[in-house]
């Protein structure tokens, strides 16, 4: 694997290898001294041109735990603020010979573009516009594997602003690969039938069902993934008011008890508490939210390992 640009294009085998490698790195995070020499002498540049707390921090920690030299560049402290193009910024960084550039950008396709332009560097997509966020899907699947007997053969609900969510798109692609049943739930404006025309879902389309009724969609699901309403990407009228959205689609304990009593709940963060998820659910016993954040480091270690450490098994490098 040269780059990780998305879940699209990965085989089931590639994806399962990444999950298994992530599982191996979980143990490193539980040690007293959380450091391995795996990426000594390698340079990782984290280029985050959009806000991020979890993803940026966990990529930084992942690189440092593996002894890489990690440099962070953000939109407010880079020359992008002076009008430099993404390509010029990236070329400048490439001239310093990094092994990996991790990129987050508001434009869909930004990571792919850099992978085409920068010949000697591996690119990791840390979220590009409304397109993909593959490491989030990886850490989410790692998290599910820790609480359910298998990550295959499950029913997962994804609730909320699906149309604007790169987290949803990467997770949908991951769960179709795994052969799972996926329920997409939300108002018609945020979860339109048109979503099913996505070319990448292709032959797997039968695994995806759309629901405009929260209770119906949640019924019998093992995992409920809530999504943030992406205010920054809402251009137009997707619902009459936030209150109306919340009244109809907020995931609450009362509803879950009724239709999916044994389910676990996830959220990629940042959360709008009381909008897409109640505080009772977010902080309650079925919540996997903190575990997701914790797993983010292991999943990203696995990705950096796969791209930069060259051949060898995880065991050789631990």
Give the binding site for ligand NCD (CB under 6 A).
54-55, 127, 133, 136, 166-167, 228, 230, 268-269
Distance in Å, CB of 228 to ligand NCD, minimum:
4
Distance of alpha carbon 314 from alpha carbon 2, whole angstroms:
17
Count CA atoms within 13 Å of residue 282 on its CB side: 17
Distance in Å, CB of 51 to ligand NCD, minimum:
8
Tell me which residue has its CB nearest to ligand NCD: 228
Q: Which is nearer to ligand NCD, 133 or 300 (CB)?
A: 133
CB-based contacts of 281, cutoff 8 Å, min separation 6? 251, 252, 253, 256, 265, 287
Q: Which is nearer to ligand NCD, 167 or 302 (CB)?
A: 167
Distance in Å, CB of 231 to ligand NCD, minimum:
10
C-beta separation of 4 from 303 below 8 A: yes
End-to-end C-alpha distance for the chain, whole angstroms: 20
Residue 270 φ/ψ, nearest 5 degrees: -70, 145
Q: How many residues does the chain have?
A: 318
∠ CA 299-142-268, rounded to 5°? 80
Q: Which is nearer to ligand NCD, 51 or 220 (CB)?
A: 51
Distance in Å, CB of 295 to ligand NCD, minimum:
12
Distance in Å, CB of 13 to ligand NCD, minimum:
26
Distance of alpha carbon 271 from alpha carbon 154, whole angstroms:
25
Distance of alpha carbon 195 from alpha carbon 188, whole angstroms:
10
Q: Which is nearer to ligand NCD, 121 or 135 (CB)?
A: 135
Q: Which is nearer to ligand NCD, 265 or 314 (CB)?
A: 265
Distance in Å, CB of 242 to ligand NCD, minimum:
15
> Residue 95, SS3?
coil
Q: Which is nearer to ligand NCD, 166 or 286 (CB)?
A: 166
Q: Please name the helix (run of DSSP H) or strand (run of DSSP E) that holds residue 279, with its range, or none.
A: helix 279-282
């Amino acid at each position: 694997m040269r780059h990780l640009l998305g879940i699209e294009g990965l085989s089931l085998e590639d994806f399962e290898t990444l999950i298994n490698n992530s599982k191996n790195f979980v143990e490193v995070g539980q040690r007293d001294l959380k450091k391995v020499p795996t990426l000594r002498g390698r340079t990782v540049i984290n280029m985050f041109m959009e806000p991020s707390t979890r993803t940026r921090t966990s990529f930084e920690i992942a690189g440092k735990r593996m002894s890489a030299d990690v440099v962070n560049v953000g939109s407010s402290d880079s020359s992008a603020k002076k009008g430099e193009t993404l390509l010029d910024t990236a070329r400048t960084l490439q001239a310093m010979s990094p092994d990996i550039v991790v990129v987050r950008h508001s434009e869909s396709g930004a990571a792919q573009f850099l992978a085409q332009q920068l010949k000697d560097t591996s690119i990791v997509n840390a979220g590009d516009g409304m397109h993909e966020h593959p490491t989030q899907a990886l850490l989410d699947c790692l998290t599910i594997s820790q609480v359910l007997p298998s990550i295959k053969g499950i029913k997962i609900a994804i609730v909320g602003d699906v149309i604007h969510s790169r987290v949803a798109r990467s997770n949908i692609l991951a769960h179709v690969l795994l052969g799972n049943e996926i329920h997409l739930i939300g108002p018609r404006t945020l979860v339109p039938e048109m979503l099913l025309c996505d070319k990448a879902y292709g032959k797997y389309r039968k695994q995806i069902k759309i629901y405009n009724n929260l209770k119906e969609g949640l019924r019998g699901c093992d995992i409920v993934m809530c999504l943030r309403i992406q205010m920054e990407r809402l251009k137009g009228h997707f619902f009459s008011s936030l209150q109306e959205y919340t009244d109809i689609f907020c995931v609450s304990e009362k509803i879950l008890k009724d239709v999916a009593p044994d389910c676990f709940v996830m959220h990629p963060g940042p959360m709008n508490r009381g909008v897409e998820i109640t505080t009772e659910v977010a902080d309650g016993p079925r919540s996997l939210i903190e575990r997701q954040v914790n797993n983010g480091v292991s999943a990203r270690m696995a990705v950096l390992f796969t791209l930069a450490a060259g051949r060898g098994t995880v065991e050789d490098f631990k």
